[in-house]
Structures are given as C-alpha cells and as structure tokens.
Structure 1
Amino acid sequence: MDKKDILSRVDHTLLSQTATWEEIRRILDDGIKYGCASACIPACYVKQAAEYVDGKLPICTVIGFPNGYHTTATKIFETRDAVANGADEIDMVINIGFLKDKRYDEIEQEIRKIHEACSGKTLKVIIETCLLTDEEKIKMCEIVTNAGAEFIKTSTGFSTVGATFSDVELMRQYVGTNVKVKAAGGISSFADAEKFIELGADRLGTSRLVKIMKNA
C-alpha cells in the first residue's frame, strides 16, 4: 500500500487545548496538500475552517470530548451547532460510566439522537478502548451497530493508551458490516498505519503521518 493511499484514510488531527488558528490553518493546508480524508479540529474553529477550505477538505470535529460525560442534551446541541457551522463529520465520545453501569439502552439512545442531529453527516462513536474490558468493547460494537452510526472509533488520544492492533481486530470482528472502524491515538509510522488498515481500520486519526511526509 503506498503512502498516498494511506494518507487518503487519515483524519489529520489537532485537538490540543492550546491550538491556535495559525496551527489549525497549517493542519488544513497540509490536509489539502496530502489528500487526507478530513481535518479533525476543535469545534470553535469549525466555521472559520469550513470557510477557509471552501470545500477542498472535509471538516471533522469532536463532541462530548474527551471525557464523554456531558449530558445527552449538551452533546446534541454541540452536534447541531457544529453541523450548522459546516462540520462534515462528527466524532462523539460515549458516556463510559454509563457503560460500566450497563446502561446500554441509554447509550444507544444517545447515539441515535446524536446521529439524527448530524442531519446526514458522518458520525463516529469513540468508545475509549483503553478503559474498557473486551466484553465492554464487544457490547459497544453491538450498540454502535444497532444505533446506526457510520463508524466506531477506538480512542480520543487523551487517555492512557491510543489505538492497538488487537482492539481494531476485535472491533472489526464484532461490529456490523455497515459500520466502519477508525483507529486513533499513537499511530506514529506508515508501517503501523498499514497494519491497522490490514486489520480492518477504514480511517486513521493522527497528525504524525503528515509530519513524516513534511520532514522527508
């Protein structure tokens, strides 16, 4: 698999608390230059970014990020606001405490409501695999499939561990055929990226691959 094909699956990401518009603009420019799948940026920059790229690059943002314990109403508002501002893709974080409490119906209903608020835009559901048991990961594959989201995503990149090969393999095994897998967090080489894709990841969340290309 060549690097261009791998980059076409990358959500070029900058979500740090200190991110400035100048840094976001560079992410957008690089995302366009290297043919990335999207730029994943903080919600406060979505409107400015959408106007800046003018359709040349899909804009992705995060909802309930990074901890997931916002109320459902808050997440729905965030989603509607992001879409109104020009977001093409939404990456939401589940309520992990609810999962631990086995409040499965509430999690599924939240995903359904947020998916509806996306108004046809792509929804990716972040389950933060490093905090879950395998049983919980499998349950979330079932819930995300039933809720109708387009993607299940491993990680925020803000917890203890990012994506792992074993998690992507497990998710691909248990998620429905209509749901794609996004690996995010800690993807630091093209070799690792290719391995994630081979194991079933359709999308990769990272900034390092573009940096490798620029440094080369």
Structure 2
Amino acid sequence: MALNGKELAKIVDATVINPDATVADMEYLIEKAKEYHFGVAVGLQCYNQMLIDALQGTGIKVLGAGGMSGVTPLDTKLYMAKACVEQGCGEIESFLNVSYLKSGMYDEIVKETRAIREIAKDQVYKVILETPLLNDEEIATACEVLIDGGVDFVKTGTGTLGATDIHTIEVMAKAVKGRVGMKASGGIRTIETVDAMMELGVTRFGIGLKSALKVLEAADNR
C-alpha cells in the first residue's frame, strides 16, 4: 500500500551531512524534523548534542556514527559508537570494511560488527555497505556476514560513491530474505523510486532533507 507523506516520514532518515553545512542548516533540520516528524534526524556528528537536546521528547531519533570509514581501526569505531550512545543517539551506523570483505576476512567483519552491536545494545544498528564498490556476489556475501554479526539493518551506501539503484536492492533482498531490515540511501529523489524499493522490502530510507521534503509532498499529491 502506498504511504502518504505523514506515514512515509516515519521511515525516512532526513539528512544534512554535507561538510559545509552550518549551524543554521542544523537548526533548519531540527525545524523540519519536528514539523514532519521524520523518524531520524541525521546531521554533522559535531552537532549531535545540539540535535539530541532540541529533539528530546519528540520521539525523533538522532543518528550516531561508529566510525567515519570502513577502514577506521576497530578501537576508534568502538570509541565513537560508545560516545554516541552516551550522548543519547537512538541509532548507530558504521561502515563495512570493504577491504576485509574483498580480502575474504569475514571473521574480522563479524568481530567488528558484534563488538559495535555490544555497545549499541539498545540502539537500532545499521551497517553501510557502499554498494557501488561491490559486485553482486560481494553484496550478497556482505549481507550474510553482517547478519551473522547481529545488525538490525544493512544499508546500501552514503551516496557519495554513487546512487542506489533497483538492481542493488534486488540483490540485497534476495540475500537478506527478510531476516534484517534494508535501508536504501543515495540518490533517492522521487516517490516512484521509494515505492519501487518498498515493493522489494526496503523499510528505511536515507534522503537528503531537501529531497525528502519533495518526496513527502509527492506522496501526498499522487
């Protein structure tokens, strides 16, 4: 069933993470998050406490990052994840170590994932695959390994390396088989794309704030 704008907002992580974003941009994110009641607000990590304080009591979660890259050393990922949890972030995302994946070091990926999962016991935990770097077999393998690691969601990518397409979601859906959630992010700008991905089992979306507002409007006007 097609969702209206209000319903869709609940499964959208509204994002303002361009490195030149300002305090005013964070304030605008807070304003729109409250107005539309997005499920999650995603801002620059240095402003997380500002977002958490402003959104307290609204039910809107703030996303914390367990590392800013897949190749960040594990102890740094754990430090960042712990700091985000202690701040009050309701969700944690970390990056898949693509080098480990392509090197066949699956046990190391499971080790990392379980270690972050242990810190984020009470948070929704998602891992970013950066699928533009992976072939179909690697995407499927990554999903299996991350499920073993205890993730709640596998996420396509950040969008910085390329947009998420329908084929990628099809590959992920076939691998996941409904065992964990799928989050699509990167280049999602139309309600038609959202609808098509939901048909394949996507239950969360990461969308830049400006595009998210347009998608919600389109959801109400179709």
Structure 2, unaligned runs of 5 or more = none
Rounded to whole Å, the distance in 1 between the matches of 2:155 and 2:216 is 25
Q: Which residue of 1 aligns with 2:182?
A: 181
Q: Which residue of 2 aligns with 1:164?
A: 165
Deviates more, 1:169-178 or 1:197-206: 169-178
Rounded to whole Å, the distance in 1 between the matches of 2:141 and 2:177 is 12
Query: Percent of counterpart pairs with the same letter?
Result: 29
Q: Decide which of 7, 20, 23 is 2:22's aligned counterpart.
A: 20
Number of equivalenced pairs: 214
TM-score (norm 1): 0.93
2:143 maps to amino acid: C
Compute the displacement of 1:100 (Å). Answer: 1.0
* SS state at 2:141 partner: helix
Equivalent residues in 2 for 1:1-216, closer than 5 Å: 1=2, 2-56=4-58, 57-65=60-68, 67-159=69-161, 161-175=162-176, 177-207=178-208, 208-211=211-214
Contact 1:184–1:206, Cα closer than 8 Å, also in 2: yes
Rounded to whole Å, the distance in 2 between the matches of 1:127 and 1:212 is 24
Compute the displacement of 1:43 (Å). Answer: 2.0
Structure 1, unaligned runs of 5 or more = none
- Write out per-residue CA displacement over residues 9-63 of structure 1, whole angstroms, 9 at most, x where no aligned residue: 1000111111222211211221221121111122211111111111311111333
Rounded to whole Å, the distance in 2 between the matches of 1:213 and 1:104 is 39
2:63 maps to amino acid: C
Contact 1:182–1:202, Cα closer than 8 Å, also in 2: yes
* SS state at 1:90 partner: strand
Compute the displacement of 1:192 (Å). Answer: 1.1
- Write out per-residue CA displacement over residues 54-81 of structure 1, whole angstroms, 9 at most, x where no aligned residue: 131111133322x321001100000000
Rounded to whole Å, the distance in 2 between the matches of 1:157 and 1:136 is 18
